[in-house]
Amino acid sequence: MARRAPPELADLAHRPGIYLMKDGDGEVLYVGKAVDLARRVRSYFSRAEQPPKTRALVARIAAVETIIVDNEVEALLLEANLIKRYRPRYNVLLRDDKQYPYLRLSVQEEFPRIDVVRRVVDDGARYYGPFVTGTGIGETMSLINRTFMVRKCRNHDFRRKERPSLQFQIGRCYSPCTGRITPEEYARKVVAPVRAFLEGRDRRLVRDLTREMEEAAAGERFEEAARLRDAIRRIERLTARQEVVEVGGGDLDCLGLYRLGETTAVAQLVVRAGRLQGRRDLFMEGETGSEAELLAQVVRQLYTAGTLVPETVLVPIALPEHAAEAGYLTARRGRRCHLVVPRRGHRAKLIGLAQQNAREAYDGYQARRSRATDLLTDLKLRLGLSRLPRRIECFDISNVSGDHAVGSMVVFDEGRPLKRHYRNFRIRAVAGPNDFAMMAEVIERRYAGELADRLPYPDLILLDGGPPQLAAVVPILADLGLVGRCDLLGLAKARSLDGQGRGRGEQVQSHERLVRAGGGEPVVLPPDDPLCHLVARIRDEAHRFAITHYRKLHGDRLVASGLDGCAGIGPTRKVALLRHFGSLARVRAATVEELACCPKMTAPTAEAVYRYLRAQEADSASARDDRQNPTDS
């Protein structure tokens, strides 16, 4: 039986626009677009037969907000922006845990540089990509840095330099920071060939470099000629490995789709400058629309603000509103984009290849899900958890001597990182080095604050710490009614085992130990256990996320820490110690054996750190005594 429509829907306009369906708490449940808002919105309440997902949506609708626009293309653009902003639970949402990198050439600067970025922004720079394999972007960056002498220093360092860098000394930079090349020369010698290479004009580039090489050799500038010769060889080797699939060059994306049951896989083949660069896989769960409707949603979500739209997008079937979707892509690109359903020729073969890749992606996705379920089931049984830990939230604290502390939360869903749910917390209520109170503050803010309404509750809460950390957070979880709703574990620091290394008297690191909130013996995971790999990966990701955020906030303090002046401890070992222990307070509390277990550390350096920190404590204690008991001189 259809639900009665809210009275305010009687006044809806017969105009194109967007509708936002909200629940009683104001949460956006669904964002949709319509050519005729009144007809489309009322249809939700007039149909007797609806799919289960739609029935569940309609049952929760408390209010409908509409936004009128001028045409269907504007509606598509606004719909995509709102879906990206609200991530409504009833919209088709692509699962894609990867943010593929781009190369950014800062042509808006006097002396452009090139770097790797994850987002495309409207800043005047030129972007190239996406690169769907790490090796692809790594090889490209290596070739550019070794061949085209692009400046490496960041703008902050560039403005402060007075002497040429090492890159200039080894012949990989013209040193524009010291005025050794004019902007015009830099544009001709560096920027133009880099753009030619990235835009696929390889033959012309090789021809120009060959001419320059011959001129250098004729002028007896043999070092320059040799450098150009090596550059030509590197370009030819890299481009020879890329399959040419688009005659005449050009940029295009080819989308393939495979659907079975409630899972849909989409394969995006990325072709740049006529060469196939790689494949990107995306997935949807529980969607009931037609393949054409799902593909239209893919197009809108794939090409949102911050992504590059190629000249052509190939799709296997016509979309429900094909002309409007093409207009959407054109608006996103800023100039004409062709949305094509190829019927014959090499582009039709490319569509067939994309369809095969979508089927392969589907099979791989289901296999990974099966392995992840088996692993999580093993974790549940081995640790006596009350539920399958599909969603795991892991918390870590990072600080130096208790100052400017930050907490981090990383989320793993079905055994894989869910980075859009990661969060950082600046510690507000705790002063001084008290990791236990800091952990308690972070837990309370996550599960009692606004995040409690915006993010789902986890099946398992994992703390980077042992019984003291667990004891600090259990009362908070009990007050919030979460003790029986979420399992709680601590990942205790590994212990050192004397005399069990290869050398005599050598210390080695023990296995990972998981501690239950209720006490009892820890569960020990040997290093070759897949569960050990999973929990270590989660813990290391929490460390990485916390340290990265701390660096952004207090980068100089991370290196200029309480370890300054300790013999044998440079920046690399400082960072390694802080990453391993999480804070300087934990480094101070560690034994010599625990310090020796840290990566980059040896037994002698561990002993040196231990003695140095003990001497610091003695000096601090002496200074406090002098302040408390002053004597006349």
What token pair was written down for 450? Answer: 């606004």
**Amino acid letter for position 574:** K
423 and 520, same domain (yes or no): yes
Angle between helices 530-559 and 345-383 (to 10 degrees): 100
416 and 514 co-located in one domain: yes
Q: What is the pLDDT of residue 560?
A: 46
Query: 254 pLDDT exceeds 50?
Result: yes
Q: Give me the count of residues in the chain.
A: 633
Q: Based on the domain organization, do 269 and 349 belong to the same domain?
A: yes
Give the gyration radius of the chain's Cα atoms: 29
* pLDDT reported for residue 556: 45
Q: Are 348 and 314 members of one domain?
A: yes
- 377 lies in a domain? no
pLDDT for residue 508: 45
480 SS3 class: coil
Residue, of 106 and 583, whose pLDDT is higher: 106
| Helix, strand and coil in the chain, % to nearest 5 | 45, 20, 35
Residue 368 has pLDDT above 80, yes or no: yes
pLDDT at position 326 = 92
Q: What stretches of 230-355 adopt beta strand conformation (E)?
A: 252-260, 263-272, 275-285, 312-314, 338-340
Do residues 121 and 216 both lie within one domain? yes
* Final residue before a domain boundary, out of 560, 589, 613: 560
Decide which of 493 and 24 is more confident.
Answer: 24
Helix axes 72-86, 322-333, angle to 10 degrees: 70
Average pLDDT of the chain is 81
To the question of pTM greater than 0.85 for the whole model, the response is no
Do 278 and 228 lie in one domain? The reply is no
Residues 409, 544, single domain; the answer is yes
User: Which residues neighbour 553 within 8 Å (Cβ) at sequence distance 6 or greater?
Assistant: 404, 406, 426
171 occurs within a structural domain: yes
Measuring CA to CA, which residue among 270, 13, 339, 303 is closest to residue 129? 270
- Two structure tokens written together for 77: 């653009």
- Where among 536, 560, 584 does a domain terminate? 560
Last residue of a domain, one of 60, 86, 112: 86
Helix orientation angle between 202-218 and 222-240, rounded to the nearest 10 degrees: 160
Determine, yes or no, domain membership for 598. no
What local confidence, expressed as pLDDT, does residue 329 receive? 93
Does residue 378 lie within any of the structural domains?
Answer: no
One domain for residues 307 and 411: no
What is the mean predicted confidence (pLDDT) over 470-496?
84
**DSSP letter string, 562-626:** TTTT-TT--HHHHHHHHHHHSBHHHHHH--HHHHHTSTT--HHHHHHHHHHHHHHHHHHHHHHHH
- pLDDT for position 63: 85
DSSP state of 6: P
334 assigned to some structural domain: yes
Angstrom CA distances, 558 to 287, 398, 436, 465, stand at 47, 10, 21, 21
List, in sequence order, every residue forming a beta bridge with 425; answer none if it has no partner: 407
Alpha carbons 500 and 493: distance in angstroms, whole number: 18
- What's the pLDDT score for residue 339? 95
Domain that holds residue 514: 391-560
Most confident among 174-183, 303-312, 331-340, 447-456 (mean pLDDT): 331-340
Q: Are residues 545 and 406 in the same domain?
A: yes
CATH of the domain at 12: 3.40.1440.10
Domain tally for the chain? 4
Q: Are strands 487-492 and 460-463 parallel, antiparallel or unpaired?
A: parallel
CA dihedral angle for residue 295, residue 298, residue 300, residue 306, rounded to 10 degrees: -150
Q: What is the CATH number of the domain that holds 336?
A: 3.30.420.10
> Of residues 633 and 237, which shows the higher confidence score?
237
- Mean pLDDT confidence for 614-623: 70
**First-residue to last-residue Cα distance in the chain:** 94
Q: Does 473 have pLDDT greater than 70?
A: yes
Between strands 507-509 and 416-417, the pairing is unpaired
Residue 575, in any domain of the structure = no
More confident residue, 245 or 228: 228
Strands 338-340 and 391-400: unpaired
The number of helices, as runs of H, and strands, as runs of E, in the chain is 21, 21
Structure tokens at 270: 């990325």
Q: Has residue 535 been placed in a domain?
A: yes
Classify residue 18: in a domain, yes or no.
Answer: yes
**Amino acid in the structure at residue 59:** A
Of 224, 226, 185, 233, residue with least CA distance to 206 = 233
Q: What is the pLDDT of residue 632?
A: 45
Residue, of 268 and 304, whose pLDDT is higher: 268
Residues 187 and 76 in one domain: no
The pLDDT, as a whole number, for residue 5 is 61
- The alpha carbon of residue 308 and the mean position of all alpha carbons in its chain are separated, in whole angstroms, by 18
What's the rounded mean pLDDT across residues 178-191? 87
pLDDT digits (tens, 9 = 90+) for 71-110: 888 888 888 888 877 888 888 776 664 567 888 898 888 8
Residues 408 and 527 in one domain: yes
Reported as a single tens digit per residue, the pLDDT across 141-154 is: 888 888 888 888 77
Distance, in Å, from the CA atom of 159 to the CA atom of 181, rounded to the nearest integer, reads 15
Lowest-pLDDT range of 4-18, 335-349, 600-614: 4-18
Backbone angle region of 121, left / alpha / beta, with phi > 0 → left and psi within -120 to 50 → alpha: beta
Separation between Cα atoms, residue 275 and residue 610, nearest integer Å: 56
HSE-CB of 317 using CA atoms within 13 angstroms:
13
**How far apart, in whole angstroms, are the C-alpha atoms of residue 366 and residue 501?**
41
Q: Report which residue type is found at 456.
A: P
Same domain assignment for residues 232 and 134? yes
d(CA 177, CA 144): 19
Task: Tell me: pLDDT of 305 over 90.
Answer: no
106 neighbors 113 (Cβ within 8 angstroms): yes
